[in-house]
Amino acid sequence: MAETKEREEEIEEQEKIEKYRKAGQIAARIRKELNKLVKVGTPVIEICNRVENLIKELGGNPAFPCNVSINNIAAHYTSPPNDKTVLEDNSIVKVDFGVHIDGFIADTAITFDLNSGFEKLKEAAEEALRVAIENIKAGVKTNEIGKLIHEKIREHGYKPIRDLSGHLLDEYSLHGAKIIPNIALPHGETIEVGEVYAVETFASTGSGTVHEKPYAYIYRVLPVRIPVRLLSSRKLLKIASERFKGLPFAERWLVKEIPAIKLAIRELTNKGILYEYHVLADERESMVAQAEHTIIVTEDGCEVITSTKGEEP
């Protein structure tokens, strides 16, 4: 009986890893397509829609709304309905997206320099990611990786963003109990075999600290039970709970199904049922670059699942 149970657990674990890998393969294919999409003059909403549609066409589901963060914006910008924002010359653009297969997530991001003059900022984030990945293995502490990221970004003359970090991934969970910081910290958690992390690095010309903007276009249903008044709120709650299962979603995903979505969002956020992902930015006039891959931890290293052969991790 014990041997049978152990065998069943091994099979279950292998199936889970294969789902992570499939999600990673889809993400890797889309990363290669981004060069065709991220151009001066492209509407941001076109990039968001294209990435999310490609994920579905390739057999996955978006793990969260595609983020397209420009210049000093570091995270959480996705197009609202009817977004008129376009990519401008002399900008630095981060595209961050996630794929899930039955809740098992691959998360990745890439920075594009649109003649901004900050190519070396992009390189700083990418080299910090490479150093982090090269040093991740079972038994290493998360703060040791954070120290390496910190040192590499400072070596290039920029600041790591202290408020943002890499994170443990789990089934239908984007942010697990462990983080991989962008800065040196006195303490950390032990990285273990089989764990899956989104390793992400942020380099900034600014303060290295982000603040919340007063607007949000991404939401997540929280596990609370509170009565709601509006029919549109009940409909949004039902759709989001059943369809996204605790993963983040965009306002524009549901606007056709729920015409009064803004009223629903207001009621649900006021009652603490919806979590708002406010857009995060460093100080005005600064520039932020991001690099991210998802990895599976092994005894003597890690497997990068969001890169294709020949691509530098």
pLDDT surpasses 80 at 25: yes
Provide the percentage of residues in the chain whose pLDDT is more than 90.
92
pLDDT tens track for 226-285? 999 999 999 999 999 999 999 999 999 999 999 999 999 999 999 999 999 999 999 999
Instruction: Please report which confidence band the pLDDT of residue 309 belongs to, taking 50, 70 and 90 as the band edges.
Output: low
Q: Which listed residue (175, 192, 211, 257) is catalytic?
A: 175
Instruction: Please report which confidence band the pLDDT of residue 144 belongs to, taking 50, 70 and 90 as the band edges.
Output: very high
Q: Which listed residue (96, 195, 251, 282) is catalytic?
A: 96
Whole-number pLDDT of residue 13:
85
Catalytic residue check, 167: yes
Architecture of domain 215-278: Orthogonal Bundle (1.10)
Catalytic residue check, 18: no
Q: Which listed residue (113, 195, 200, 267) is catalytic?
A: 200
Whole-number pLDDT of residue 308:
73
Q: Which listed residue (100, 150, 167, 293) is catalytic?
A: 167
Please give the distance of CA 281 from its chain centroid, rounded to a whole number. 15
Provide the percentage of residues in the chain whose pLDDT is more than 70.
95
pLDDT tens track for 157-196? 999 999 999 999 999 999 989 999 999 999 999 999 999 9
pLDDT surpasses 70 at 7: no
Q: Which listed residue (126, 150, 292, 293) is catalytic?
A: 292
What pTM, to 2 d.p., does this model score?
0.94
Instruction: Please report which confidence band the pLDDT of residue 5 belongs to, taking 50, 70 and 90 as the band edges.
Output: low
Catalytic residue check, 100: no
Whole-number pLDDT of residue 12:
82
Domain ranges of the chain: 2-210+285-304, 215-278
pLDDT tens track for 41-89? 999 999 999 999 999 999 999 999 999 999 999 999 999 999 999 999 9
Catalytic residue check, 134: no
pLDDT surpasses 90 at 101: yes
As a three-state string, the secondary structure of the chain is CHHHHHHHHHHHHHHHHHHHHHHHHHHHHHHHHHHHHCCCCCEHHHHHHHHHHHHHHCCCEEEEEEEEEECCEEECCCCCCCCCCECCCCEEEEEEEEEEECCEEEEEEEEEEECCCCHHHHHHHHHHHHHHHHHCCCCCEHHHHHHHHHHHHHHCCCEECCCCEEEEEECCECCCCCEEECCCCCCCCECCCCCEEEEEEEEECCCCCCEEEEEEEEEEECCCCCCCCCHHHHHHHHHHHHHHCCCCEEHHHHCCCCCCHHHHHHHHHHCCCEEEEEEEECCCCCCEEEEEEEEEEECCEEEECCCCCCCCC
As a whole number, the mean pLDDT across the chain is: 95
pLDDT tens track for 61-73? 999 999 999 999 9
Q: Which listed residue (52, 107, 127, 267) is catalytic?
A: 107
Catalytic residue check, 300: no
What would the CATH number be for the domain defined by 2-210+285-304? 3.90.230.10
Whole-number pLDDT of residue 312:
60
Catalytic residue check, 107: yes
Compare 224 and 26 and report the one with higher pLDDT: 26
For residue 204, which of 70, 108, 67, 72 has the smallest C-alpha distance?
72
